[in-house]
């Protein structure tokens, strides 16, 4: 098998894997559930179902393949910029049956295009980029649909075993010495425009938590009046805390002297050792202030995740350049919750920072922006239109993120008030003089 044939086989497998996950998420519920809007923050599942097919048609059938449109009449319905999520239920959307049939036709044409496309030459197809972009797009919508499942009422419908138990004890913080490192990438074949280009960044010494903040730690913040004392919050954060009436992470409720949460239709006692999830940026920032720390910057997070002090180079992942395996990280919807801290010792960074990839997206205290030398590709609306102080960056992926859409350079972003996403955090701090010596 030639390198090109092997690449085509990998792309076909990734396309199949993403569609299998889409099918699982949409076949798990009936038609009423598919067309219902479970939250104004989210689209009906049936919109996401047809949207992934429409994007696949636009980029791979029409652009890469140069084929005639399958359904050009629906392009406007599934344009995310034309229709905010709250308004999508009122659109004349394809029915679940029509959406599934449409996706099948598109996928058949895409596989034909894949067979006949040279995966070299123009940037859009070099190394299979456009196919990889579509794979990542569908996996991102699969994670969005998983978040919609978390918001729907009713019994559990998604199968998944519990995450593995902790294998090592992880506590405290880790010193990252100051100095330059390579941030971003210019060589990752499926990296998106906001991850590019690779560039040198000089990061002063800092300490970062060896693990994400846990439910047990966050419960201590609540017990100490963390939601009642404005001195821990920024003015913007406190205004939002009052306006949204925040008092605990999303989906938590009082259970006697403790806490319980409902996840994907199952209610249980909060597990103290798991990373806390479903927090907005403001809550994370308030906890960090209460703890005498702060949130890491994006550059600090990436240095902790990628920099290898022994070689002086930046790795693809904390554990090295090997793609994620089940022993490395909690990814790909294998489980429906974060794993306890210490569950993935093989995924730790050279400095001993754990669970940087998977489990929970981690808020960092950096506005979303382009790197020096940024160039929009293949369209401005993927990243550039979101640049600015409105959005905060999240890094690392969650238990609902597929490995295809997660790497050491991958960047996510959202409004700092959002909590329906699988978001958590870890803290950082500046070193005391004796620590930095």
Q: What is the pLDDT of residues 130-173, one digit of tens each?
A: 999 999 999 999 999 999 999 999 899 999 999 999 999 999 99
What is the model's pLDDT at position 292?
A: 98
pLDDT in tens, 295-337: 999 999 999 999 999 999 999 999 999 999 999 999 999 999 9
Which whole number is the average pLDDT over 8-23? 98
- Residue 128, number of CB atoms within 10 A of its CB: 23
The yes-or-no verdict on residue 434 having pLDDT over 80 is: no
Task: List the domains of the chain with CATH numbers.
Answer: 3-151 (1.20.120.450), 160-437 (3.90.1580.10)
- Among positive and negative, which fits the CA dihedral 335, 341, 345, 350? positive
Which whole number is the average pLDDT over 121-132? 96
Residues 190, 127 contacting (CB under 8 angstroms): yes
The yes-or-no verdict on residue 436 having pLDDT over 80 is: no
The yes-or-no verdict on residue 249 having pLDDT over 70 is: yes
- Give me the helix-helix angle, 96-116 and 3-27, nearest 10°: 180
261's tokens: 């949460």
Percent of the chain with pLDDT over 90: 98
pLDDT in tens, 57-101: 999 999 999 999 999 999 999 999 999 999 999 999 999 999 999
Residues 169, 196 contacting (CB under 8 angstroms): no
pLDDT in tens, 324-383: 999 999 999 999 999 999 999 999 999 999 999 999 999 999 999 999 999 999 999 999
Residues 50, 70 contacting (CB under 8 angstroms): no
Identify the residue whose tokens are 């999520």.
Answer: 85
Classify 133 as helix, strand or coil.
helix
Percent of the chain with pLDDT over 70: 100
The yes-or-no verdict on residue 435 having pLDDT over 90 is: no
Confidence of residue 437 (pLDDT cuts 50, 70, 90): low
What is the model's pLDDT at position 184?
A: 98
- Among positive and negative, which fits the CA dihedral 11, 15, 18, 24? negative
Among 222-231, 311-320, 380-389, 427-436, the range scoring the smallest mean pLDDT is 427-436
Which whole number is the average pLDDT over 242-248? 98
Burial grade of 98 (CB within 10 A; 0-12, 13-18, 19 or more): middle
Which whole number is the average pLDDT over 207-229? 98
What is the model's pLDDT at position 338?
A: 98
């Amino acid at each position: 098998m030639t390198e090109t044939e092997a690449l085509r086989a990998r792309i076909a497998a990734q396309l199949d894997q993403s569609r299998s996950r889409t099918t699982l998420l949409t076949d798990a519920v009936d038609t009423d559930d598919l067309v219902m809007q479970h939250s104004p923050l989210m689209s009906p599942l049936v919109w996401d179902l047809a949207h992934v097919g429409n994007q696949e048609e636009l980029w791979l059938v029409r652009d890469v393949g140069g084929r005639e449109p399958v359904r050009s009449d629906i392009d406007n319905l599934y344009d995310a910029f034309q229709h905010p999520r709250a308004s999508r239920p009122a659109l004349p959307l394809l029915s679940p049956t029509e959406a599934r049939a449409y996706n099948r036709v598109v996928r058949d044409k895409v596989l034909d295009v894949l067979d006949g496309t040279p995966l070299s030459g123009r940037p859009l197809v070099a190394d299979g980029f456009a196919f990889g972009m579509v794979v990542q797009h569908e996996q991102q919508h699969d994670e969005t649909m998983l978040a919609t499942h978390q918001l729907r009422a009713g019994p559990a419908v998604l199968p998944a075993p519990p995450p593995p138990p902790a294998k090592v004890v992880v506590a405290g913080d880790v010193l990252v010495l100051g100095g330059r490192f390579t941030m971003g990438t210019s060589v990752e074949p499926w990296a998106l425009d906001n991850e590019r280009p690779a560039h040198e960044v000089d990061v002063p010494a800092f300490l970062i938590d060896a693990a994400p903040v846990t439910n047990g730690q966050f419960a201590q913040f609540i017990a100490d009046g963390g939601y009642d004392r404005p001195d821990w919050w920024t003015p913007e954060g406190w205004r939002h805390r009052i306006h949204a009436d925040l008092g605990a992470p999303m989906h938590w409720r009082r259970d006697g002297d403790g806490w319980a949460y409902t996840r994907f239709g199952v209610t249980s006692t909060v597990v103290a050792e798991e990373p806390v999830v479903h927090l907005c940026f403001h809550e994370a920032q308030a906890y960090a202030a209460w703890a005498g720390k702060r949130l890491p910057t994006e550059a600090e997070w990436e240095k902790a995740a990628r920099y290898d002090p022994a070689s002086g180079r930046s790795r693809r992942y904390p554990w090295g350049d090997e793609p994620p395996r089940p022993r490395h990280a909690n990814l790909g919807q294998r489980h429906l919750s974060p794993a306890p801290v210490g569950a993935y010792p093989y995924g730790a960074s050279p400095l001993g920072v754990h669970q940087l990839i998977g489990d929970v997206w981690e808020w960092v205290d950096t506005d979303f922006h382009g790197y020096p030398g940024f160039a929009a590709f293949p369209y401005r609306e993927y990243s550039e239109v979101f640049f600015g102080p409105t959005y905060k960056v999240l890094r690392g992926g969650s238990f609902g993120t597929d490995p295809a859409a997660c790497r050491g350079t991958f960047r996510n972003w959202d409004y700092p008030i959002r909590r329906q996403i699988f978001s958590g955090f870890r803290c950082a701090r500046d070193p005391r003089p004796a620590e930095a010596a």
